Structure 1
Amino acid sequence: MGLASPASMYHQMRVRGLQRPATISVIFGAVLAFVYVLLQSSAPWNLTSSHTRLGKEYKIPVRQIEGLADAIADMWRPLALDIHADNFTAWLWGDRGTPYVMPAKAKRHWTAPLGKDVLILDVDTRPLEQMRSKGRVQSDFRALFEDDQLTPRFAGMLNHYIYARIHGYDYKFIHASELADRHQTWVKVPAIKEALLKYKFVVFADADALFNQPDVPLEWMLNYWNVHPKTLVAMAEDPNSPTNQDPKGWVLWNTGFIVAQQGERTQELFRQWDDCPSGRQFPDCRRWAHDWAHEQAAFGHHLRYAWNKTDDLRAIACMDANGAHHCGDRKCLGVFVSHHWGKKDEPIQDLWRLVTRAVTRYASQGRPDLIFKAFINPIRPPPNWAFYDEMLRFDEA
């Protein structure tokens, strides 16, 4: 059975009684978006990968999802919060909205879009097939989104990529070689260090750490958290419990979300961090090469003491960038960045919500036309015009 053209499907909707303009706009827009994604998945690809010292570097988690990711990003882009906004209403699970206000005394250091000076970074050593799909890799990218194939890790990386696309940041996924002398989670440390040679800010997030407010730009969050030009690195605190404290009672910081700023001192910080398991500078750090929590424990027990004599480091409240609604600690809801260490499948649910939340925002404004335009905007002529003409040829019957 052949694929019906957009024109014939539009005609069928009319004869079946779907006459309301809003309904027609939404459904017809969805059809066009589907055609666009289909075109993109079949069109020639110009995306390339490159090699770094750590492994292979990709500009997109899976090249075939570029069209889908752009469609979702284009829905969110008109909703993006202005960098200079004094407040915004945060979306929380099952909540009508929580107001967040920029502190009156906050010094806004970041008043212009950072754009390509920001890198959103994913790093992993697992086999690509294991990360992207629960089964064998399919030639049809849509198979990646089947219920029995979609992995939380892939969904989380897609969240990061879409967030970068919304705000015009760069994105990279580094598929790194396995480390021989330490646990694999350590790979984030040299990866961030190397990326900081090219980018002013590198934002690393674990695959289960998600941008929970896709409309809020990094610049607004940096101002809210008082990350200033001399800040080297910022991380979120863990839930404050005895198991998350170092021997001196200082709550540990979670390396599942790291904001690092370019600079010579930042390079030295990351050099010491990467070298920590050798025991040369911190003899007691050898254990963290393999003992949990690896690089996180090394930073919490050693690096932050060595580098906290000035205002080098910034602790982000657990409420803002760690935990989630299901973690049990009401002081750690992950308002801006949710970290789903307690429910690893949550990134899949979040991927679905990225679409429904945007549509709900437009609908609440009484603007079905904006929903329609959000679907239309991503539709750009693919390089193969003959294929494009064939797919969009209207039925004459």
Structure 2
Amino acid sequence: MAFLQNVPQSWRRLIFLIPVLIISLILATGLYNGSLPKPRLPKVSFEDSHSPFHSDCQANNTNPQLDSLPDIIRALWQPLVLPINEPRFVTLDGTEKRLPPPEELIWHKPLGKRICILDVDTRELSGEGSIFSDRLPPWDKLGSPSAGFLSHYLYAQIHGYSYKFIRAPQYQDRAPHWSKVIMTAKLLKEYDFVIMLDYDAMFPSPELPLEWMFNYWKIDKQVMVAMAEDPAGEPNFDDRHKVNMNTGFIIAQASENTHRLFKDWAECPTEVRYKGCAKWGKTLFHEQAAFSTHVRYDFLDGYSIDTHPQYIRMLPCQEANGIPEVAGSGCLGHLVRHYWGKKGLTNREYSHNIMAAITPLLVQAAYKDPGHVEDLRDKILQGSQILDKPPAAP
């Protein structure tokens, strides 16, 4: 700053005032406080028969104001989202799923924030590539659990559902897996539906809303809880040789009966109600085995899944469990995938979730909209010249 000593005092004052003036101008024009118009994403509309978008979205040419990342996510996927009463859906492997007749449909309007997507974990998840790391994880360092959790958040934002991640305390007398039972029960006091997923349970088609699946699986207002069946093989049977229900994906619907069921389930290892349940506190398959062996056969003072199947719904393994890589188990994960066989593939699934929406938008912007493609197929090349094709011979 020695050069300032030779500058007149009046000029020195001006030099120090210049930054103040610049900041004042920035504030006045709104560049600093974000008052300028937010960027808008173009509404995508394909007109050919191979459009990946639904017809009711193709005609919608409005551009929503984008105020946050959830707004951007919803704008990206909105043309793809399947209406909850769409009669037909085709899975990634080409399997067709059809809803019941219109008069049998249960859900006709989106439930929005009344549905909560829930992640529960007792681990720190603070290492490299983890969601609670001090540094934001780059894509190529993202851990498999983080990819699963992020896919759940993404799915919730696409459909306008609530999302919660609970960093749960651990039980002193049982395996950490049990925390998801009591945390699901906790959120059932706040939401109509709580959808609890293990990190390796994911939605392969994020455009498919839960309300569509509720209609497909006939999740009416009597259903308290729904879970997928496990593969029909050892060691996945209970003491009655009935296949276990898998707790990696739980649909829980709030009601007084549901609160009672979850309370009894959480207390199962204490053997206040269920004799012989203590061993499942720390023995595989923990809360899953406790539910399958005890709770589903004796809930609400003597009800059983066999006598009152309307309260507990067992979802087909091929639709709500497993992945194509373990097709021999009969669990293909058509609508919900569970990567218990290959947990490292959660990164691949997360990548697909995002690129399913981004790729059509890129194709639209680069190759369908005017401005980037110059079509010279009606020309011919001759030496260094681009010439018109000669008229066809008569």
SS of residue matched to 2:78: helix
- In the alignment, what sits opposite 1:99? 96
Change (3 A) 1:71 1:289: same
Change (3 A) 1:369 1:146: closer
SS of residue matched to 1:277: helix
Following superposition, the deviation at residue 306 of structure 1 comes to 1.0
> 1:221-275, CA deviations, whole angstroms, 9 ceiling, x for partnerless residues?
0010011101100000011113211121211010000000000000000000000
Following superposition, the deviation at residue 331 of structure 1 comes to 2.5
Residues 187-202 of structure 1 mapped to structure 2, 5 A cutoff: 187-202=179-194
> 1:134-182, CA deviations, whole angstroms, 9 ceiling, x for partnerless residues?
9x9344x2xx0242x3111111010100100011100000001121111
TM-score normalised by L of structure 2 = 0.70
> 1:288-323, CA deviations, whole angstroms, 9 ceiling, x for partnerless residues?
000000000000000111132322100100011100
Following superposition, the deviation at residue 110 of structure 1 comes to 1.0
Following superposition, the deviation at residue 71 of structure 1 comes to 4.5
Higher relative contact order (CA 8 A, sep 6+): 1
Change (3 A) 1:130 1:250: farther
Residues 272-351 of structure 1 mapped to structure 2, 5 A cutoff: 272-307=264-299, 308=305, 309-310=307-308, 311-329=310-328, 331-351=330-350
Following superposition, the deviation at residue 131 of structure 1 comes to 8.6
> 1:332-360, CA deviations, whole angstroms, 9 ceiling, x for partnerless residues?
11111100001111111112112322244
SS of residue matched to 1:243: coil
> 1:29-86, CA deviations, whole angstroms, 9 ceiling, x for partnerless residues?
xxxxxxxxxxx9xxxxxxxxxxxxxxxxxxxxxxxxx84x764553222210001110
> AA paired with 2:291?
F
Higher alpha-carbon deviation: 206-215 or 104-113:
104-113
Change (3 A) 1:192 1:326: same
Q: Distance in 1 between matches of 2:95 and 2:76?
A: 22
Following superposition, the deviation at residue 104 of structure 1 comes to 3.5
Identify the match of residue 200 of structure 2 among 203, 208, 218. Answer: 208
Residues 149-298 of structure 1 mapped to structure 2, 5 A cutoff: 149-298=141-290
Q: Is the 8 A contact 1:121 1:172 kept in 2?
A: yes
SS of residue matched to 2:85: coil
> AA paired with 1:189?
V
Q: Distance in 2 between matches of 1:167 and 1:174?
A: 21
- In the alignment, what sits opposite 2:114? 117
Q: Distance in 2 between matches of 1:103 and 1:351?
A: 30
What are structure 1's unaligned runs of at least 5 residues? 1-21, 23-39, 41-65, 373-397
SS of residue matched to 2:267: helix
Change (3 A) 1:146 1:89: closer
Which structure: larger Rg?
Answer: 2
Residues 32-47 of structure 1 mapped to structure 2, 5 A cutoff: none
Change (3 A) 1:130 1:73: farther
What are structure 2's unaligned runs of at least 5 residues? 1-45, 47-66, 300-304, 370-394
> 1:186-242, CA deviations, whole angstroms, 9 ceiling, x for partnerless residues?
000110111000100000000000011101111110010011101100000011113
Q: Distance in 2 between matches of 1:257 and 1:131?
A: 27
> AA paired with 1:339?
H
- In the alignment, what sits opposite 1:78? 79
Identity, % of aligned positions:
39
The count of aligned residue pairs is 297
Higher alpha-carbon deviation: 273-282 or 320-329:
320-329
Residues 107-146 of structure 1 mapped to structure 2, 5 A cutoff: 107-130=104-127, 133=130, 137-139=133-135, 141=136, 144-146=137-139
